[in-house]
Amino acid sequence: MPVPWKPAPRGSKECPDKCNGVGRCNYDTGYCDCPAGWRGPGCKTRQKRPCTKTYRTPEDQSPDPVSHIGPDKRDLNWTARGFTPSRCYGICDDDLGMCYCDGPMGRIPAPDNAPPGTPPIRRGRPLMNLIDQPAKSFDGLQTDGGGQPYENVYGPKAEPSTCDLQGYCNVSSPAWAPACGPEDLAGKYCDAPNEAFCPGACSGHGHCDLGFCRCENGYYGHDCARRKAGMVLLPSYIPERPWVAKEVREPPAALEPPPAPSRKRPLIYVYDLEPLYQSKLLQYRIAPAWCTHRYYQGGNKTHYSEWCYGAESAVHEYLLISDHRTFDPEEADFFYVPVYMACLIWPVLNWADYPYFYTHGGTRVMHAVNMLRETVDWINANYPFWGRRGGRDHIWLFPHDEGACWAPTVLKDSVWLTHWGRLGLDHESKTSFEADNYTRDFKTWRQPEGYTKYITGHACYDPVKDLVIPIWRTPQHYWRSPLAGAPAKPRDIFLFFRGDVGKRRSPLYSRGIRQTIYKLAKDNDWESIHSVLIGDSSDISGDYSDLLSRSLFCLVATGDGWSARTEDAVLHGCIPVIIMDDVQLKFESVLEVDSFSVRIAESEAANVLDVLQAIPPKRIRSMQAHLGQVWHRYRYANLPGVAAEIRAYMTSNANDPLSKEAAALSATKEIRLPRPFKGDPSVDDAFATIMQWLHSRIPHTR
């Protein structure tokens, strides 16, 4: 039943010393949210992220590294050994661990005696990656890791007669320039200001500093959607920035009066977490396309990222602007904890020398485990809601390859949204990446007993309380699918898989399934005899979406954990062939997956062709028809910009000459299934399906 939509509660607790002029006050808690470079009560303590440090030897138990950066932010010795990915042969921004040019077009930091938060006198041009930095010093000595001729970066201006300007860091129009790096800089020479991604775009009441919202006076929360008690409602300036307005809107929960008399449950309270667990990680990321489902390219153009862990930011942004969001924790059915663990594990961890949880070294998942345990401690220190029900009404998203297999035990009663539905209590890591092997323990001075003791006693996935959700896929990924209105093509490819087939992987990868089927296909010439395409991009060329749209069956086999091929198959109307034992598919506890898929035991993988060839045509048509009833639930399509892009593809595909041919065929004797999708892409997408499932789970959390 609908519930009344009440005005949002507003906090009035002041923060100490206005958060030192650098942070953002949370008027609910009186706690300062600090951006990169600052931490602690009132944002009074500096938290540096130096570009260059060398850790001591294992025999030396001191956790403190030795810095190679001088007080002027320059590397003390370019030729000193001690490689770190963030090594900087320029001027280091040691708030972020990012490198900028030295010299005429370089960075000039704020004076040492400037007030906290003073921006640099000149930001300078970025030098994000070592391959974009000099391979040699000015006097010809080898640097440690640089990849460019010295002249490209710091070379002098050429003779005027040549009109060939040199030195990216020296002149206004150099002959060479690197990729820009930070999302908020664009243009030919990385000089032009650009929009940056913050979840919810700071609600039009603040500006985005590489993932951290700096709110207008009196606004607060990690997306600046909350308003201090007694303040009048100010207009959101989202409409003034059309490149933002096409993607997001101001949260309905922030509007006064509420936009409707009532709304439907579930009502979800989204925590404004300690920034280290979310927004600082976005500030620390080294490439715009990482950590987020969308980002801004030059000219403030939105680009949807192929970052396969993008559900982390996409679900977060969905919730922020959703009708299901509530600012009143007392009426909330659930509490969402927006920890960006995939962002920590991949683009942030081991780039520079901070953050680590709790020490340098160890597996990547060890750091994520400790961050999640810290997050629970932080919630308990600032809110009473975890303890009320033992975390049963708290939602965590696990986009990692092996899902929540390594989740800390303290979270075991919470709701897990995961991509990996591995069943069974007794499990061990199956990854081919030793850095993610959660079975291998690691003992440190902070955890002499190791960390794996904190992740025992639970399954990877519990189908009663958890849900396997689709991964993030962009509209471009399935643009030639009938789901995007493209004509339904003849399914002339019998079985299809293009991706990593384990050519250079350990035997653990894919449990050996992809390797086995690839070898069978090659050795027995399945392509020419049976129209079977199995291989990687060196074996199979062509538009991926078009190939999937022409395929009857699509292989779904595990990778290092979950497989992205479920979504690839379903989004194109291709029947998934699932070869992974004791694993639930995406949404399997919600939908009748067996009605539109084929499941084969791993022990029978070598017989896959025989099994598929024995399926009667009537059964195939039935599975295709069932796919056409559910495939829209496997895409995230209700974010404003995403829905608009899908509609544009649908219009373009409808005008395709092949569409008229397909319509003529379906009017006569040949009906190609699934039929092209003609509904509203924003209805009953993946996010809506998650909300519908959560609604059914409300009684079980109480």
Within this chain, do residues 479 and 434 fall inside the same structural domain, yes or no? Answer: no
DSSP states of 31-88? EEE--TTEESGGG-EE----S-EEPPPTT----PPEE-B-TTSSBS-TT-----TT--
Same domain? 426 vs 451: yes
Report the residue count for the chain: 702
| Cα 366 to Cα 438, 560, 690, distances in angstroms | 7, 17, 29
Under a CB-based contact definition with an 8 Å cutoff, are residues 265 and 333 in contact? yes
Task: Mark whether 497 and 622 lie in a shared domain.
Answer: yes
Which pLDDT does position 112 carry in this prediction? Answer: 86
Evaluate if residue 57 carries a pLDDT over 50: no
Residue 437 and residue 486 in one domain: no
If we measure between CA atoms, which residue out of 521, 515, 517, 516 comes closest to residue 503?
515
Task: Convert the pLDDT of each residue in 678-695 to its tens digit.
Answer: 999 999 999 999 999 999
Last residue of a domain, one of 424, 459, 494: 459
581, with CB counted inside 10 A (0-12, 13-18, 19+), is middle
Q: What is the pLDDT, as a whole number, of residue 8?
A: 86
Q: Which of 412, 428, 459 is the last residue of a domain?
A: 459
Q: Write the CA distances from 570 to 482, 495, 555, integer angstroms.
A: 11, 14, 11
Query: Is the CB of residue 247 less than 8 Å from the CB of residue 302?
Result: yes
Question: Which pLDDT band, with edges at 50, 70 and 90, does 58 fall under?
Answer: very low
Report residue 315: phi and psi, to 5°: -65, -40
**In this predicted model, which residue has the larger pLDDT, 419 or 670?**
419
C-alpha pair distances (Å), 208 with each of 89, 355, 407, 418, 618: 28, 21, 31, 28, 54
498, β-bridge pairs: 535
- Which helix H or strand E contains 301, and what residues bound it? strand 301-304
For 444-491, the pLDDT digits (tens) are 888 999 999 999 999 999 999 999 999 999 999 999 999 999 999 999
Same structural domain for residues 452 and 524? no
pTM here is 0.95
The count of domains in the chain is 2
Is 382 among the domain residues? no
Q: Is 6 helix (H, G, I), strand (E, B) or coil?
A: coil
Separation CA 52–CA 106 (nearest Å): 18
Q: Is the pLDDT of residue 150 over 70?
A: yes
Cα dihedral 246, 248, 254, 259 in deg (nearest 10): 60
Window from 50-54, 56-60, 126-130, 141-145 with minimum mean pLDDT: 56-60
Say yes or no to pLDDT of 61 above 50: no
CATH number at residue 540: 3.40.50
Residue 655: predicted pLDDT: 84
Strands 467-468 and 493-498: unpaired
From CA 28, how far away is CA 40, in angstroms rounded?
17
CA atoms of 570 and 677, how far apart (whole Å): 13
Least confident stretch, 24-38, 211-225, 432-446, 660-674 = 660-674
Q: Does 350 lie in the same domain as 491?
A: no
Output the six-digit token pair for 639.
């974010």
Token pair belonging to 143: 């640097």
**C-alpha–C-alpha distance, residues 535 and 552, integer Å:** 17
DSSP element (H, E) containing 334: strand 334-336
Asked if the structure places residue 676 within a domain, the reply is: yes
Q: What average pLDDT score do residues 151-158 get?
A: 82
Closest CA to 104 of 156, 182, 179: 156
Residues 242 and 334 in one domain: yes
pLDDT, mean of residues 605-620: 97
Q: Tell me how crowded residue 3 is: count the other CB atoms within 10 A of its CB.
A: 13
Considering the domain architecture, whether residues 402 and 489 belong to the same structural domain is answered as: no
Average pLDDT over residues 366-394: 97
Instruction: Provide the pairing of β-strand 185-186 with 192-193.
Output: antiparallel
What 8-state DSSP symbol labels residue 218?
T
Cis amide leading into 640 (omega within 30) = no
Q: How many CB atoms lie within 10 A of CB 123?
A: 21
Lowest pLDDT segment from 111-120, 529-538, 630-639: 111-120
Which of 6-10, 24-28, 265-269, 456-460 is the least confident region? 6-10
Query: Residue range 20-41: average pLDDT?
Result: 96
d(CA 61, CA 155): 43
Domain assignment present for 385? no
pLDDT (0 to 100) of residue 353:
82
Arithmetic mean of pLDDT over the chain: 92
The verdict on residue 437 lying in a domain is yes
Residues 499 and 599 placed together within one structural domain of the fold:
yes
Residue 75: partners with Cβ closer than 8 Å, 6 or more residues away: 51, 52, 68, 69, 87, 88, 89, 92
| Domain membership flag for residue 119 | no
**Alpha carbon distance 522, 529 (integer Å):** 11
- pLDDT above 90 (res 165): no
- Beta strand extents in 123-242 (DSSP E only): 185-186, 192-193, 206-209, 212-215, 219-220, 226-227
What are the φ/ψ torsions at residue 215 (nearest 5 degrees)? -85, 155
* For residue 358, cis peptide bond before it (omega within 30 degrees of 0): yes
Q: pLDDT digits over 564-596, tens only? A: 999 999 999 999 999 999 999 999 999 999 999
Residue 613 within any structural domain of the chain: yes
**How confident is residue 660, by pLDDT bands cut at 50, 70 and 90?**
low
Distance from C-alpha of 634 to C-alpha of 626, rounded to nearest angstrom: 13
- Specify if 532 maps to a domain: yes
State whether residue 345 is helix, strand or coil. Answer: helix
Domain-located, residue 59: no
Q: Decide if 631 contacts 573 (C-beta within 8 A).
A: yes
Range of the structural domain that residue 446 is part of: 195-375+393-459
Residue 158's pLDDT is what?
57
Query: Does 287 share its domain with 218?
Result: yes
Q: Measured between alpha carbons, how far is 74 from 96 in angstroms, rounded to an integer?
A: 15
- The answer to whether residues 407 and 492 belong to one domain is no
- Same structural domain, 279 and 419: yes
Share of the chain above pLDDT 70, in %: 95
From 459, 493, 513, give the residue that closes a domain: 459
